[in-house]
Structure 1
Amino acid sequence: MSESAFRVETTARLAQWRIDNLASCTYRKSDPFKIGNWNWHLSVEKNRALYLRLHPEISNLTRDNPPIASFIIRVICSADDRKALTHPEITDKQLKNNDDFVWPIEIPFTGKFIIDVEFLDLKTASPNGGEPCSIWAEGFTTKQSNETALACLGRMLTEGINTDIIINVSDGSIGAHRAVLASRSPVFHSMFSHNLQEKELSTINIPDMSIEVFQTFLRYIYGNIEHEEFQTHRLALLQAADKYDILDLKEVCHESLMEDIDAKNVLERLQNANLYRLHKLKTSCLRYLVKFGKIYDIRDDLNAFLQCGDRELIADIFNEVLNTWKGF
């Protein structure tokens, strides 16, 4: 049997499987074919009736996000002037395995026939428990539109298109847009809404930031920050996020700083966690030091910290030690 006997042809949302002769076997399963986010299979089984199945290929994606499919499926007899048998339209049926859609066909088919599947929609369950979301609608509204908008917003910054505010930092100046800054930060919004110096002079002085850090900060606000520069300036971005009340940036920094705690940075991370009220980071640092015994690996650094560190933070370390000892 040729390889083409198992191949399903696809275009856009349509799939067709041409079967030249099923008489020589009682079961046939197609090669996988891609529609939407999933690979699919069609299969036919000939017993007293012809059983036709459509199902997604088993994978982590199928297990975690099984498709909710709407489709029209037909069997077209090539030898009988393309006479078609059409199943009633399937709407919003979740398909996980090969038993979720089975079509028993009582009418015998001989010779060549075509299985034709037209996918009307494919959805996935909402992670928030709401209505299922169409992957094709989502692809337009959130991916294409957002990517284009972010690219344009990034160009406004990098090319200085119609900037209307100058930010003077410790070692340079950079232009930006009041509307963008105000929409992302309540602090900037307040500056531009009241009769403050920043509103009158169209300048902002930020002497506690370098131009490299502030450019990275602006690239986050404008949506075109690179991963490497974010990693390099996480602590400075955390400080800026706290100062200008940008909660999403603060949370991104918080989560990132918990990912690579080690003996070299744990005390610095602990102090920043305490300073910026990052409870999860503080807990992680204390557990790393005490529960995992790393406190003994940094004795010199810890002794220096105990001499000049925050009194309440030092008390927190000792409380963690005492609580851990109680567990033994």
Structure 2
Amino acid sequence: MSILITHGIVDYTSGVRHWVSFRDNIYDATKIYSPKFNLSYSTPPHYCRMFLDCSQKRIGIVMASQDKCATLRSGMLKCYDTNKKLIVKASIEDHEVNDELYFTFKSSKFDDIVRVELHDSSALVVNKTKTPAAVKKSCTSTLSTDLAKLLCIGDYADVEIHCKDGEVMKCHKNLLAARSPVFKTMLDSDFKEKDSGTIKLDYMEIGIVKELLSFIYSGIVEHPQKAMELLGAADQFQIQDLKDICGELLASTMAVDNVLEILAAADRYRLTELKTSAMALVVLNAKTLVNTPKFKEFCTECVDKQLVVDIVKAQAYK
């Protein structure tokens, strides 16, 4: 079993993992990641990503989980140009993927690569040796659970967040201030929130506020399907790690039917890697996308108008 990966389009096929990366003079990228895929087809899954590192002229594989490492026991890495001609082939035998595994090629060949295939006949994924860092991670997990309970129960809460439709969440000033520079400014300065003990977010749905607070307290995104709405909240309250996670979640679900929305969000919220991957998929499907109502909406919402120009140029070259 293997996976077809085309910037967010994941399809189970037989024999090979494909990852397509469209690269030309229209849109330049320094480092492009594929969506996550299960390296060993195991349950629970052990995710990794493939990537093109354009500045260093190399292709790599990186484990998505920091507590896992892998050995690719056998396999093959194949790269093709725009004419579907095989230009690079590298054997894989007992290669370890600890943090990142690199395959470096001559620059003349690397610049022609538009398609990467990972043929892996066997892979072994194991836990890393337990180190003080791993112990620290375990303790952090316990702390995360305890803080999530504190939010749920509301003990010793000293501030209220008032949401849309009159919903109220009881919170703790010190945690809000520690996790968000925006909340810290509200609670530290001469803003009325400091004295009243009330923060009004009456324009936000209670569901998004709950997701935001859950992450502030526990570091966990409870409902990944709300990543798009949560991204806006993360940007507003300047919670960078939540923005990054939302970007990864959107990348993992990216397909032709939602890529314009994701590209607009990546542009609006300055998520460079997501913007690069989304743009690559849009360019690859420009001829289809430019004639849709979604493209007209995208042209209106997009902050970076050069993206629109690039897409139209790509459509003209098809």
Q: Which category of TM-score, normalised to the shorter sequence, fits these structures?
A: 0.5 to 0.7
| Structure 1 residues 321 and 193: CA distance shift in structure 2, 3 A | same
**TM-score normalised by L of structure 2:** 0.55
5+ residue gaps, structure 2, are: 1-69, 74-93, 100-127
Q: Which residue of 2 aligns with 1:115?
A: none
> Where does structure 1 lack aligned partners over 5 or more consecutive residues?
1-57, 67-123, 125-133
SS in 2 for 1:161: coil
Per the TM alignment, residue 262 of structure 1 is displaced from its structure 2 partner at its CA by 1.6
Measured after TM superposition, the shift of residue 138 of structure 1 is 3.4
Q: Matched residues, percent identical? A: 28
Separation of aligned partners in 2, 1:323 and 1:267: 15
RMSD: 3.1
- Provide the C-alpha distance between the structure 2 equivalents of 1:196 and 1:247, rounded to a whole number of angstroms: 23
Bigger RCO (CA 8 Å, 6+ sep): 2
Q: How does 1:108-257 map to 2 (within 5 A)?
A: 135-143=130-138, 145-171=139-165, 172-223=167-218, 225=220, 227=222, 229=223, 231-257=224-250
Residues 269 and 244 of structure 1, relative CA distance in 2, 3 Å threshold? same
Alpha carbons 2:286, 2:312 under 8 Å: kept: no
- Deviation of 1:274 after TM superposition, in Å, equals 2.0
**Mean Cα displacement is larger for which, 254-263 or 158-167?**
254-263
Deviation at 1:223, TM superposition (A): 1.0
Shift of 1:302: 4.3
Matches of 2:255 and 2:314, distance apart in 1: 22
Supply the distance in 1 between the matched residues of 2:244 and 2:302 (Cα, whole angstroms).
26
Query: Cα 1:311–1:293, aligned 2, differ >3 Å: closer, same or farther?
Result: closer
Q: The residue matched to 2:292 in structure 1 has which SS?
A: helix
1:151 Cα offset (Å): 1.6
TM-score, length-scaled by structure 1:
0.54
The 3 A distance-change label for structure 1 pair 296 and 324 is closer
Q: Which residue identity does 2:175 align to in structure 1?
A: V
1:62-101 correspondence runs (5 A): 63-65=96-98
Distance 1:310 1:234, change over 3 A: closer
| Contact 2:289–2:295, Cα closer than 8 Å, also in 1 | no
| 8 Å Cα contact 1:286/1:317 also seen in 2 | no
1:318 maps onto 2:312 in alignment = no
Between 1:311-320 and 1:251-260, the stretch displaced more is 311-320
SS in 2 for 1:135: coil
Deviation at 1:170, TM superposition (A): 0.3
- Partner Cα separation in structure 1 for residue 185 and residue 295 of structure 2: 43
User: Cα distance 1:257–1:217, how it changes in 2: closer, same or farther (>3 A)?
Assistant: same
2:297 corresponding residue in structure 1: 305
Q: Label 1:260 to 1:311 Cα distance change in 2 as closer, same or farther (>3 A).
A: closer
Cα–Cα, structure 1 residues 314 and 141, in superposed 2: closer, same or farther, change >3 Å?
A: closer
Q: Distance in 2 between matches of 1:211 and 1:182?
A: 20
1:263–1:294 CA contact under 8 A, matched in 2: no
Q: Which has the larger radius of gyration?
A: 1
Output the CA distance in 2 between the equivalents of 1:196 and 1:150: 30
